[in-house]
Amino acid sequence: MDKIFLSALSVECIVGIWEWERRVKQTVVIDIEMAADIRKAATSDRIEDTIDYKKVAKRLIAFVGESQFQLVERLTEEIAKVVITEFGVQWVRVHLNKRGAIRGARDVGIEIERRATDYA
């Protein structure tokens, strides 16, 4: 299986359960791996024959930036759903990091894997 990935996509958003978190945008950092068969694009050299990671990044920046979920679990699930349903990806791994969420810990986050059949 070939994979296309985006690494360390930083987005400001409202996410959290505490009142102050509902007023202040926080940075989440997203890493995504997407299953892709890149053989056609490798032969044709055409962006139309692969997953356009720039389009994926722009869509996620807009989606996450406008979102206001309470839990990072929900935000991570919705990111996976967007990637699969809007970009025709058969499998995705999403790692979401909410830096600084816990005092004394650099990173806190979620990592999930989903398949297209999860959203059928």
Task: Please list, residue by residue across 45-60, b when 16 or more beta carbons sit within 10 angstroms of its beta carbon and e when fewer do.
Answer: eeeeebbebeebeebb
Instruction: Dump pLDDT digits (tens) for 62-115.
Output: 999 999 999 999 999 999 999 999 999 999 999 999 987 788 888 899 999 999
Q: How many CB atoms lie within 10 A of CB 115?
A: 14
Instruction: Dump pLDDT digits (tens) for 19-51.
Output: 999 999 999 999 999 999 999 999 999 999 999
Clarify whether 98 is annotated catalytic.
yes
Q: Kindly name the residue from 25, 40, 58, 98 that is annotated as catalytic.
A: 98
- What is the reported pLDDT for 80? 98
Model pTM above 0.75:
yes
